[in-house]
Amino acid sequence: MSLRRWLILIASFAATIGASVYIVWKGWAKGGAPPTIPLAVHALAFAAVLAEVVTRTVKLQWSAGALHIPLKFWTSMRVCLGGDFAASVTPARSGAEPARYFVLSEAGVSPANNVLLLFTELFLEMSSLAVLCVILAFAFHGSGRVVQLMTAMVGGYAIVVLSIGAIGLFLAKRNAHGPPPTWAVAIGLHAGRWRTIQKSLRSLRTGINALKHARFGMLFAAALSSMVHVSLRLAVLPIIALAMDPNLPLAQLVLWPLVFLYGGAVAPAPGGGGAVEASFNWAFSGVMTPAQLGGALVWWRFYSFYLYILLGALAARGSVLKVLRNQQHGRLHAKAGTNAGTKAGTKTS
């Protein structure tokens, strides 16, 4: 990454950690130290994280198996954790899919199968998330605004992602060959960038045709695994908070993290830049005591965010940083090519 991006990342993480420190300090001043969480509860939260990673790994492996794509368990885990790490250190989680693509490519997965697998996995994620939202909305129908906000934000997030996939399918059928259309030129997609997009569109079209031969039983099992792994991520805050106070409302402990995890994905700053911490403080300030709120925030963020960065860094090693550097070099080369073309046009005229 460039120096500028490193500085943005450092500033964003400083804001994120600073927001947590401020909330804990404010709670300490008002209500004393956060309640002590038993070691067994920490072990249970850590086990939930590991189970979530394993379940997500199995989901990706089963998705690959359904599409007749060979994928080892350890490779599948590296893809998942590498995507987590890249998502945590890039604005709006923009590095997740390139990192996952790169790790799959390193494992020898062809570009066509790569695009197909990631598209299918994302489709299963969004579909299972939409179903889970409906289930939670019925289960906690009397929980007021949090249900409405959860349905609006997470449902909207799923609709946007699925709409992007639908647009990709439409373009794959109409624009996989030939010069860039007028609308693409208007938004700055010159011939070089458009050829790169067309290559992905052709891979996507080839992959969609391959879906006709998919093993739908394994796809259904992968969808169920997707629901399980999301449920495990939602279990972390109740595990921590209910150990502090068993009388806290379960509905809010389950539903608000769903809003934070998927709503926070659109935050422009890497790691949220303190937006998740501020939202957590706003959502639970009337539910938890100040001391409970600070303790719950710190440990929930550790098990739902910082631990994934550590696991991702260990699993992906230098692969993620390499793809981020490649992204930066690609932008520099594209800019240089554009400038060269502009200069050539100027001389010709």
Question: Distance (Å, rounded) from C-alpha 40 to C-alpha 75?
Answer: 31
Whether the Cβ atoms of residue 44 and residue 225 lie closer than 8 Å to each other: no
pLDDT, position 42:
97
Instruction: Kindly report the length of the chain.
Output: 349
pLDDT, position 89:
84
List per-block mean pLDDT (blocks of 10 residues) for the chain, which spans 349 residues: 77 92 92 90 97 96 92 93 88 82 88 83 83 83 70 66 65 61 63 66 65 83 93 95 94 88 75 89 92 95 94 76 58 43 40
Q: How far is CA 214 from the centre of its chain?
A: 25
Token output for 218 = 């394994």
Question: Distance (Å, rounded) from C-alpha 215 to C-alpha 211?
Answer: 9
Type of residue found at 260 = F
Question: Distance (Å, rounded) from C-alpha 273 to C-alpha 266?
Answer: 12
Question: Distance (Å, rounded) from C-alpha 111 to C-alpha 105?
Answer: 7
pLDDT, position 167:
65
pTM above 0.85, yes or no: no
What contacts 16, CB < 8 A, 6 or more positions away?
Answer: 271, 272, 273, 274, 276, 277
